[in-house]
Amino acid sequence: MKKIYLLLLYFIFPVVSLMAQTDNSDCLVCHSDNSLEMERAGKKVNLYVNEETYGFSIHKDLSCNDCHEGFNPDDLPHKQGSKIWEVNCMNCHDTGNLSKSVHGQKNVQCYSCHGKHDIKPAVELSAVNNCVTCHNTSAIQAYYKSKHYTLYKSGRKDLSCYACHGGEGHNIQSAVFNKNKEKAVCGKCHTAFNTQFARELHSNFDAPEFPTCTNCHGSHASTVNRFSRQSQECLTCHLNPSIVTHQKASLTDFIKTYETSVHGISGKNGTEAATCADCHGNHLVDGIQSAVNRVKRENIPETCGRCHQDALKDFNNSAHGKSFASKSNLAPVCTDCHGEHDISAVKGKAYTKLKMKDVCQSCHAKNKEVLKLVGKSKDEILYYETSVHYRALKKGNDKAPTCADCHTGHLMLRASDPNSAINKKNIAATCGKNSSCHLSERGQYKGSIHQVALMNGIKDAPTCTDCHGDHQNAAISRKGEIDKNQYIAKLCSDCHSNVQMAEKYGLPTNKTDSYYESYHGLAVRGGSKYAANCASCHNYHNVRPSSDPLSSINKANLSKTCGKCHPGASIESQFADVHLTYNQEQSALLYWTDKLYFWLVVVIIGGMLIHNLLDLYRKLKEKKEHAEEIKHLKKEGKYYVRMSFNERIQHFMLLTTFIGLVISGFGLVYPDAFWVEAIRSILGDRAFELRSITHRILGILMIIASFYHIYYLAFTKPGRQLFKDFFPAKHDITDAIVNIKFLLGISKEKPQFRRFSYMEKAEYWALLWGTIVMSVTGLFLMFNNYFLANTPKILLDFSTLVHFYEAWLASLAIVVWHFYYVIFNPEVYPLNTAFLDGKMSEHLMEAEHPLYLKELQEQEKNENKRETKESE
């Protein structure tokens, strides 16, 4: 029997299907016309059915009147007013909770989601696109950009609209969630984060204004990257006093500074550099007192290090980081230097660097405990504000360094650490780390003897900061030329004249003294702007030993080096040492000249002094014994011409040029003498140049006066007589012997001097000799460029030495010998005025030149006799 039923079904089903198709075909005779319309409720409704579309629907095997009920299909046209279009899907389909869903309550029809004649199987419907057909606002469209949709497209079908809105289609719930329900919905997938959020600070408050998942992550546009929501979401609450009541009124302003901070300012992609959640956490925002709070001081380095990983690594290895790890309360953390919410946006590198200086000094110059810990005084740190680097920064030069450029920013190590940027071996690399700093100078220093010594472990060898200073760094090139020269010379000599250092490293001890005693050194000490300092010859940074072929002071390179100041200088390979000490090994000529002149000065000036002291004694004694007689003679005596007007003019020229040459000459040799410093204080920075010019002018005037004197002696009658009277004679020896015996008390016989005594003749011829020597050597020195280029350097050194000793010999001779006879001699004291009026009293002539007086008296008698005869 059962088999019979099955056989009947086998034949009946195709017939029914064929009947349905035939029935549907009847309907489609009219409804396949796309122009078929009717009017319903005043509106035209198109009744067209696309047969092809319907043929692909899930209902293709059903008859039209299976869905469209309540009318007679054969009654054409169909009865007006019948609601043929209304379809009750529940006749066939169990819709479950649809009536309780938000769609059921709003009377949303099945075809809104499933379609009409194009109905597809439910499994083929998109749980996203199908919903957006109706729900197509911009907020919902944002779902296509969400993380949920990305996962949905990759195969996670559980992340469609249904996931959050109540499950499968007929169970769709209202979008209005309360706080607990939202946590439950999100927690179905985000189980771990739900656990975290359960203990999070925000979750502990039940007030509706406290945030839920969608407040931070958004709803349809939900994302999970760190920029899922900008910080404005947090600030909306935290800057709203009606929602968050802060204990301090200033705290709101403090939080608001985030908006203008470097973290808060949006970048090109519209996102912030760091949102609130980056620092404070997302689902794990804890109270500030919590040990695990990300912004608790103890946790700040790790919090910042989540983004700034390299900076954290450097900080942990730095002196600051190690101090922080040791729990020191003096150790800084990121926010101490960079700020918290108010991390400034970069307004320009120079501005930022200036702020950095203030930040560093807040501890290193103003905190006594920090100063004690690092072993620095406050002034040592504040010296930076007087440095060339700081002044450049204030002028807007963003390449000028501040604290972090030298000490590094996060990897700040003590100078004793071999890896420190300010370790002595690394300072040159720090100062010359790039082209905006001192890269060229670093390259020069790299091959210098100082760098080689330092790299070989000699810690006393200088590096950048030994010469330029560290915080008090000053640009040598920007000093005044006088200060620059003196500064460099002193800088080098501080080490090279240090006896302990010289002994320790076997350095010569006489180099600085010999430099300071040379023309270059004396000129620098005297305030010259142009004289050579140490670096002029040895270079500033590329200092090499003379044995190095690349050295500027190698013998092969001296002509070039000296030629920088002395064009055309030709320094031969065999020459006396530049730093002359006048020892026999350097030059026998200079050595013996030095010895000879020294003893010559001692013997001559010593002899003059003894001679004059004896003369003074004898004359004082006689003056005392014959006081009345001398007084009487002075009253009644006549006056005789001692010097003609022409001779007085020549004497005046000699007097003024000589005194001027002594002052300007010794002003060079003894620049530290009190009277030289007094002159410099009056003349100022131009003192040295004025001294040099004055000395040369006076020297030329003396030479001119000397040539005139030669003319006077040769071509005038008084001059020829003067030369004859000054010329040495045999009686001068006799007079000297008689006078010395008298002075020593051996004989009571006084010498009978003619017009000029042996003392005056000796002085005159010494003057002539000295003038010749000083003129010749002075011309060598004046035209040193020419002589360096055309004669051996030894001649210039010889001229310098002779010029110096001759100056001393002439000066002392004038003071000891000449000044005695024209000033301190008891016969003329307080002054022999013959050089002013040309006259000498009869008394003085009798005392000093008795034979010449007799000669004049005899000439007077003869003249009187001649005049008498002529009158008769």
What is the per-residue pLDDT across 461-501, written as a single tens digit (0 to 9) for each?
A: 999 999 998 888 876 665 667 788 898 999 999 999 999 99
Q: Are residues 504 and 609 in the same domain?
A: no
d(Cα 792, Cα 574) in Å, to the nearest integer? 9
Q: Which residue has the higher pLDDT, 149 or 204?
A: 149
Quick check: 6 pLDDT over 50? no
Residue 12: per-residue pLDDT: 42
Measured distance between the N- and C-terminal CA atoms of the chain, rounded to whole angstroms: 212
Residue 623's pLDDT is 80
Where among 448, 474, 500 does a domain terminate? 474
Encode 747-784 in three state secondary structure.
CCCCCCCCCCCHHHHHHHHHHHHHHHHHHHHHHHHHCH
Whether 293 is covered by a domain: the verdict is yes
Cα distance between residue 506 and residue 89, in whole Å: 112
Upper half-sphere CA count for residue 762 (Cβ side, 13 Å): 15
pLDDT surpassing 70 at residue 335: yes
Average pLDDT, the chain: 85
The Cα–Cα gap between 812 and 806 comes to 10
| Gap between the Cα atoms of 82 and 499, Å rounded | 125
Which residues neighbour 671 within 8 Å (Cβ) at sequence distance 6 or greater? 522, 525, 526, 527
The candidate with the shortest Cα–Cα distance to 662, out of 651, 675, 647, 650, is: 675
**Whether residue 830 has a cis bond before it, omega within 30° of 0:** yes
Token pair of 619, please?
């004359």
Asked if residue 194 lies in contact with residue 183, where contact means CB atoms within 8 angstroms, the answer is: yes
559 vs 661: CA distance, rounded Å: 32
Residues in the chain: 872
Alpha-helical segments (H) within 248-400 = 249-256, 276-280, 300-305, 309-317, 319-325, 334-338, 349-364, 368-374, 378-382, 388-394
Q: Is residue 91 part of a domain?
A: yes
Residue 5 in tokens: 């039923």
Top mean pLDDT of 17-21, 38-42, 668-672 is at 668-672
- Pair (350, 328) in one structural domain: no
- What are the DSSP calls for 339-358, one per residue? -STTPBPPS-HHHHHHHHHH
Find the helix or strand (DSSP H, E) in which 46 lies.
strand 43-46
SS3 sequence, 259-275? HHECCCCCCCCCCCCCC
Here the tokens at position 492 are 């080098």
Q: CB count, 10 Å around CB of 445?
A: 24
From CA 382, how far away is CA 397, in angstroms rounded?
20
Which of 286, 312, 334 is where one domain is finished?
334
Report yes or no: 393 and 350 within 8 Å, Cβ to Cβ: yes
Write the pLDDT tens digit of every residue in 263-319.
Answer: 887 665 666 778 888 888 776 676 666 777 888 889 999 999 998 999 999 999 999
Same-domain status, 802 and 762: yes
530 near 542, Cβ under 8 Å? no
Domain boundary among 447, 474, 501: 474
If asked whether residues 416 and 303 sit together in one domain, one would say no
Q: How far apart are CA 172 and CA 113, in angstroms?
A: 12
Burial class (CB in 10 A: 0-12, 13-18, 19+), 691: buried
**What residues does 31 pair with on adjacent strands?**
none
Residues contacting residue 232 through CB under 8 Å, at least 6 positions apart: none
Phi first, then psi: give them for residue 519, nearest 5 degrees. Answer: -60, -45
What average pLDDT does the segment 780-797 reach?
Answer: 92
Q: How confident is the model at residue 249 (pLDDT cuts 50, 70, 90)?
A: low
Bigger pLDDT: 672 vs 171: 672
Asked whether residue 460 falls in the same domain as residue 540, the answer is: no
Q: Which domain holds residue 454?
A: 346-474
What is the spatial distance between Cα 27 and Cα 71, in angstroms, rounded to a whole number? 13
Residue 725 sits in a domain whose CATH number is: 1.20.950.20
CA angle 713, 653, 609 (to 5 degrees): 90
Q: Tell me, what's the pLDDT at 117?
A: 86
Question: Are residues 380 and 327 located together in one domain of the fold?
Answer: no
* Residue pair 131/112 in contact by the 8 Å Cβ criterion: no
Residue 45 φ/ψ, nearest 5 degrees: -120, 130
Going by DSSP bridges, is the β-strand pair 639-641/43-46 parallel, antiparallel, or unpaired?
A: unpaired
In whole angstroms, give the CA distance from residue 495 to residue 510: 12
Residue pair 216/186 in contact by the 8 Å Cβ criterion: no
321 and 429 co-located in one domain? no
User: Is the pLDDT score of 835 beyond 90?
Assistant: yes
**Rounded CA gap, 464 and 442, in Å?**
9
Domain count for the chain: 5
Residue 87 CB contacts under 8 Å (≥ 6 apart), including other chains: 67, 68, 110, 111
Tell me, rounded to whole angstroms, the distance of Cα 329 from its chain centroid: 32
d(CA 847, CA 826): 11
- Look at residue 92 and tell me whether its pLDDT is greater than 80: yes
- 858 found inside a domain: no
The DSSP symbol for 840 reads E
pTM: 0.70
Measured CA angle at 785 (ends 783, 791), to 5 deg: 90
Task: Quick: pLDDT tens for 351-395.
Answer: 788 888 999 999 999 999 998 988 888 999 999 998 999 999 999
The CA distances from residue 866 to 673, 854, 872, in Å, are 62, 18, 10
Task: Say if residue 503 is in the same domain as residue 614.
Answer: no
Q: State the pLDDT at residue 167.
A: 67
Same domain, 670 and 714: yes
Least confident of 29-38, 587-596, 718-727: 29-38
Cα-based torsion angle of the residue sequence 238, 240, 245, 247 in order, rounded to the nearest 10 degrees: 70
Instruction: Verify that 412 and 327 share a domain, yes or no.
Output: no
Give the span between the Cα atoms of 280 and 303, in whole angstroms.
8
Question: Contact 231/264 with Cβ under 8 angstroms?
Answer: yes
Query: What's the pLDDT score for residue 20?
Result: 45
pLDDT tens string 534-562? 999 999 999 999 999 999 999 889 999 99
Tokens 């009187």 correspond to 864
Does 206 lie in the same domain as 71?
A: no
On the question of pLDDT at 65 being above 70, the answer is yes
Q: How is residue 554 annotated by DSSP?
A: S
User: For residues 121 and 60, is the Cβ–Cβ distance under 8 A?
Assistant: no
What pLDDT is attached to residue 523?
94
Q: Quick check: is 719 in a domain?
A: yes
Identify which of 419, 414, 498 has the alpha carbon closest to the alpha carbon of residue 460.
Answer: 498
Is 569 within a domain?
no
pLDDT at residue 400 is higher than 80: yes
Tell me the three state secondary structure of residue 654.
Answer: helix
Residues of the chain with pLDDT > 90, as a percent, come to 46
User: Dihedral of the CA atoms 176, 178, 181, 186 (nearest 10)?
Assistant: 80
Most confident option among 62-71, 230-239, 356-365: 356-365
Residues 659 and 763 reside in one and the same domain: yes
Local structure of residue 43 (DSSP, 8 states): E
Tell me if 243 sits within 8 A of 249, measured CB to CB: no
Q: Phi, psi at residue 181, to the nearest 5°?
A: -65, -40
Least confident range from 556-570, 598-612, 643-657, 761-775: namely 556-570
Q: Which amino acid is at 570?
A: S
Does residue 382 form part of some domain? yes
Omega before 14 within 30 of 0, i.e. cis: no
In a domain, 255, yes or no: yes
Instruction: Tell me the β-bridge partners of 841.
Output: 639
pLDDT at 780 > cutoff 70:
yes
> Any bridge partners for residue 839, and if so which?
641
Is residue 526 assigned to a domain? Answer: yes
